[in-house]
Each structure stands twice: as C-alpha cells, then as structure tokens.
Amino acid sequence: MAEVKIRDLREWLAAVEKLGEVKHVTQEVDPVLEMGAITYMNGQNPGHPTLLFENPKGFSGDVKVLFNPIGNSMNRLSLAMRAKPGRTPIQLAEYLKDEFMKKIPPVTVEPKDAPIYENVLEGDDINLLALPVPKHWPRDGGHYIGTSDAIITQDPETGRINLGTYRQMVHEKNIVGYYSSPGKDTLLDREKWWALGKPCPVVSCYGIDPLLFICAATGFPKDESEYDYAGGLNGAPIEVVLGKHTGLPIPARAELVIEGYSYPTGRPEGPFGEFTGYYGRPGNEQTPYIEIKAMYFRNKPIMTAALMADMPGSNEQSLFLGLLRGAKTWRDMEACGIPGIKGVWGAPECAGGFGMTTVALKQQYPGHAQQAAAIAAQCAGGAYYQKFTFVVDEDIDPSNLGEVMWAASTRCRCSEDIDILRNTWSTYLDPSKNPNETRPFGSKALIYACKDFEHYKEFSLRTALTREQYDKACARWKELGLPGQAPALMAFDDMK
C-alpha cells in the first residue's frame, strides 16, 4: 500500500518543495548546452536539488524545463515511489521488492477529466520547434526531447501495453527520432506492426510523473505492462485517456504528450551523450522516426529532462536504477528459491545504474554464493548490460561501494573466486566492445567477495562495533553536533 498519495508531477513537485529540494531558476538560461552544463555541475554537489528552469532563453510562453527530478536524492526517489522518506537504500529496496509483487491495471477516464487534453494541436499547428528542447552535450547530433520520458506502444498480437524510455531527437516540427537498443520491448512491438504491413502506433510523454519515468526505465516481464506495476506502487490505478488517433492509453495527468505513427524507414540521428558517460553510436545512422498526428499539453506545462553523464550524481538514472534493479533482482532471486538474501543493489556508482550488481548473502550451504551470483546475473531484473556481479556476506552493505570493495580486497581469492559468463545480453551503447556489430553480446564476471564457505568458521574476525557501542554513539549524535543522522550499520561484533 502506497505510503504517500501523489497523482502527478505537480503533486510530486509540491511534496519535494516542502523538503526544500527544488531550485527555481528564474534567470534566463539557454536550453542549448547551458542547462546541461549547470545540471552536470549541480549534480556533483552533495544534496543537490532538482532544477526547474522557468525562463528558457529564446522561448516565449509558459513552458518550464525540470532537469534531473531524482538526482541522487533518496527523499525525492522515495516520494516518486510513493514511500515516506527516511529509509536507508537497502531498506527502500526491500520495501519495493515486496511492493513490486502488487499490480493494479490503469483506469480509463473521460477526456473532460484528463488535464492532458487542456490543449490539443493537430496537423500544421504541431510545432516541437516552439518548445525549449535541450541540447545536452557539445557533440550531440541535435536537440533531444526524449530523455526523462515514457514511450507507449502495444504488442499487436497480444494487446499488451508497454512503457519504455528511449532517446528522441527532434528532426522537424512534427517528426522525432525513435532509437531503441536490440531486445527492448518497443523495438519488438514496432517490428511486429511493420511485419503486418502497418505503421506502429506510438505515444511519447515528455512531462511525466517520476513514477512513470522510473517504471518505464525499468525492465519488467515482456508480457506484462508497466502501467500495472506503476499502479501497484501508486496504491491506485494510473488514470489514462485513450489517444484520439492511436487509441493508446495516455497518462491523463501528464504534462506534454505527442501521438503518432512510426514507419520502418529511417532518418540520420545522433550521436547522443549516453548513460555510460560516452557518446552512443556514431551519428547520422539511419534510425526510425515518429510522424506526429497530435500534440497534447496542460496549461503552463513542465517538460522533464534527464541528463545522462559520467558522474553518478549528475546522471539522472544512477540512483533510481541502482535501487530498482536491486529490488527487482532481489524479487527474482527469491522467486527462484535463493534463501538468505539480506540485500541487493545495482551499484549507482556504475554507468547509469547499470554494469554492477551486489548481493549480500548469509551463506547456508556449499555453492550458495555461486548459485546466487549466477541467478542475479541472468534473471530478468539484472541481465541487461550487467558486467559485474558481486556476492558479499551479510555484514556488508551492498549499496556502499567502499564496503563492497573492501570485501573484494580481503575475501576474494582472484584465482578461485571469479567466474566468467560469455555471450550474454548487452547493448550497442557499450563503448568497450568494438567493432559496433559485436556489442549486443557481452560477458559477465561473477565475483565471490565473501568468506570461503569451507573455512567460514575460522575466517579472520573483522573489526566491528558492538551493538552497545553503536546505540550509545547514536544517542549522542546530535548532542555532539555531528552532521546528518547516525549511519545505519550492517556489521556488529557479538563478542562471542
């Protein structure tokens, strides 16, 4: 059951405002490179706010641009997931792991009850060029409106509705690019439509509730809809209204939406500064596009934008994908019958929340760690572009990279405790693999950074506080004028 009642981006922003984590930038700021630069630098400061650019240079009207709504804020992420702030990363992952089991299908409302239909543009009136669409990085091939977005498609065979997050470059006033990596649901959907000799119906949402963005960016089973999982987390159905041209379900309380059709022909697109911290595939590659039939927006809409970057705090995906991949992998592992899991985290310090997963495990039998690593590396929640899977003992916080690296340095025997999986699911965006054509296949390292089970009882004792020491220090934390709250610990010395 959702702990916080929020229906859309505006209500989420109001809740974040009360926490003092919204910075209203009222000065004129250029969406071409300047917004991206300020967002990148802002993200490198601890506790940075989300940035609401209220006066985009060169654009009249009331459109605002919200950059990196989540950032590295556990408070903003918790509210987006309809949870009260205050949990540790692993506590929130455990909460979400259970909440992910709940699904509530969306509910269709009448157009008169859908704020997204406050303004409707069709035909020659459509003009994306009139919007402050950012250009993020100097070598980007164009202006990208699709970053903090949700792209909606339907499987023509089963009727399943999919929400995904894909980059979209503006080509003309009524045409946007439609890039997707191999294996992604939207690519599979559109190829089925094209195989039927029909264009693919598409809806793209460019100003959305962070909950929908996060669910769209997270992998769910291919035969299920992200709308259902978002409803479960929301504690109530997501309100949708049927598109006038495609009939696809549109978030009724979104800020800015386009509706149209995609064709198998392509247009030159890219490059784009990606979540890896590198530019994606070479520019001017032929990429499918969407021809827009209608554009819908609320009065004074707020566009959402997500900067992809090398620095974790500046990369909008890092924290929430670390959390979501951890929670989903945890759920998948339990579904496979793996016991003793104390925490799972998809390391936010890695490329955009991808690349690394860490499992904290209470070992119970020979081969337990190896079994856990193999499942974590290949289950639905963790398989895509994951290179390193660490298994650590239950005294290690898997969300703390320093602790994980300490465990790897002191408990992993490199000659015996690293296994390699080959020809696994990867992405064209992996810059380590060349030539480009080899990139859909990758490899994974399974690293057992935990005590050797055979000699578990005689393993060297670690230095750790007793519970009594910890409780006493916590009680005096504020009295001593120390910053923040006393940190949560996973390791204690029981002095036996």
- Please report, for the domain that includes residue 226, its CATH number: 2.30.110.10
For residues 164-178, one letter each, b for 16 or more C-beta atoms within 10 angstroms of the residue's C-beta and e for the rest, the string is: bbbbbbbbeebbbbb
Are 244 and 351 within one domain? no
- Say yes or no to pLDDT of 168 above 90: yes
Tell me, yes or no, whether 326 lies in a domain. Answer: yes
pLDDT at 438: 61
Tell me, yes or no, whether 461 lies in a domain. Answer: no
Among 68-72, 162-166, 305-309, 324-328, where is mean pLDDT lowest?
Answer: 324-328
Mark which of 293, 312, 331 sits at the end of a domain. Answer: 312
The range of the structural domain enclosing residue 411 comes to 317-455
| Count of Cβ atoms closer than 10 Å to residue 421 Cβ | 16
| In the block, residue with structure tokens 């578990």 | 456
Tell me, yes or no, whether 3 lies in a domain. Answer: no
Give the mean pLDDT of 184-213.
96
CA separation for the pair 433, 431 (Å, rounded): 6
Are 308 and 336 within one domain? no
Are 279 and 404 within one domain? no
- Say yes or no to pLDDT of 150 above 90: yes
CATH code of the domain containing 349? 3.40.1670.10
- Say yes or no to pLDDT of 239 above 90: yes
CA separation for the pair 341, 344 (Å, rounded): 8
Are 379 and 257 within one domain? no
Tell me, yes or no, whether 1 lies in a domain. Answer: no
Give the mean pLDDT of 448-456.
94
- Say yes or no to pLDDT of 186 above 80: yes
Are 246 and 380 within one domain? no
Tell me, yes or no, whether 2 lies in a domain. Answer: no
| Count of Cβ atoms closer than 10 Å to residue 19 Cβ | 13
* pLDDT, tens digit, 9 for 90 and up, residues 214-231: 999 887 888 999 999 999
pLDDT at 284: 80
Are 121 and 187 within one domain? yes
On whether the CB atoms of residues 51 and 64 are closer than 8 A, the answer is: no
- Band of residue 469 on the pLDDT scale cut at 50, 70, 90: very high
Angstrom CA distances, 82 to 46, 97, 234, stand at 23, 14, 6
Q: Total domain count for the chain?
A: 3
- Band of residue 437 on the pLDDT scale cut at 50, 70, 90: low
Are 441 and 489 within one domain? no
* pLDDT, tens digit, 9 for 90 and up, residues 365-397: 999 999 999 999 999 888 888 899 999 999 999
Cis omega (within 30 of 0) for bond into 271 = yes
Most confident residue range from 162-171, 271-280, 473-482 = 162-171
Mark which of 312, 337, 360 sits at the end of a domain. Answer: 312
Which residues are CB-neighbours of 321 under 8 A, at least 6 positions away?
A: 217, 218, 346, 348, 352, 353, 354
DSSP 32: B
Are 441 and 331 within one domain? yes
Are 420 and 482 within one domain? no
Are 153 and 200 within one domain? yes
CA separation for the pair 300, 385 (Å, rounded): 38
pLDDT at 312: 84
Decide: helix, strand or coil at residue 78: helix
Which residues is 268 bridged to in the sheet?
286
- Say yes or no to pLDDT of 353 above 80: no
pLDDT at 436: 63
Are 104 and 252 within one domain? yes
Are 123 and 184 within one domain? yes
Tell me, yes or no, whether 60 lies in a domain. Answer: yes
Taking the model in full, what pTM does it have? 0.90
Mark which of 251, 285, 312 sits at the end of a domain. Answer: 312
- Say yes or no to pLDDT of 157 above 90: yes
* pLDDT, tens digit, 9 for 90 and up, residues 78-93: 999 999 999 989 999 9
Most confident residue range from 238-252, 418-432, 450-464, 482-496 = 238-252
Q: What percent of the chain has pLDDT over 70?
A: 98
Tell me the pLDDT of the chain averaged across its residues: 93
Tell me, yes or no, whether 246 lies in a domain. Answer: yes
Among 42-46, 149-153, 227-231, where is mean pLDDT lowest?
Answer: 42-46
- Say yes or no to pLDDT of 281 above 90: no
Give the mean pLDDT of 305-319.
90
CA separation for the pair 259, 151 (Å, rounded): 10
- Locate 458 and state its tokens: 């005689």
